Amino acid sequence: IAKFSHAILKAPALAAAYWTTGADSGDTRKAAGDRGEGEVGGGIRDGEGDGGGGSLEVAATWGMVDAAVGAVAALARTGALSAADEDVLVAAAVSGDPRVLILARHYSVAAPSRFAEHALRAIRSGPLPTLQAGGKF
C-alpha cells in the first residue's frame, strides 16, 4: 500500500506532463485535464502566463493551482473552512501566490486541513517577500 500511496501522489505531475507532450495536436495544450475553453485550466499556449517559460512549466503551475483549489473545495464542502477563508484561499491560488502553490504541492493531498492552516497563515503574514540578488530575502 505504501508504494501505491507514493505513486498516486505523482499523478498530478504525470497528468500535467501528458497534457503538454502532444496529447493535443494543436498549438494549445491542455494543462490540467479535459476542460472546455473559458474554464480555469482550459487551453494554455506555450509560455503564456509564465514569463515565457515552456508549457511544462505552465502545466505544473496549473496542476498546483488545481491541487490547491481542490483541497479548498473539499474542506469547504465539509464545513471545515468558513466562506471567507475559502474566498481568500481560492483567490490566492488562482492568482498564483507561490506560497500557496508550494504548500498545495506538499500538503493538499495528504493533509488538506494542514494545507489550509499553513496557507492562511502565509497569506495573512503580509505581502510576498522580495527576493534579492543571490537568492536572499
The per-residue pLDDT for 127 is 87
CB within 8 Å of 66: residues ≥ 6 apart: 12, 32, 33, 41
Which cell goes with 14?
A: 504525470
- Return the pLDDT at 101: 94
* Cα gap 112→95, rounded to integer Å: 19
3-class secondary structure, 45: strand
Tens-of-pLDDT digits for all 137 residues of the chain?
A: 555 556 666 666 665 555 445 444 443 333 333 333 333 333 333 344 444 455 667 778 888 999 999 999 999 999 999 999 999 999 999 999 999 999 999 999 999 999 999 999 999 999 887 776 766 66
Query: For position 39, what pLDDT does the model report?
Result: 34
- Looking at residue 16, its pLDDT comes to 56
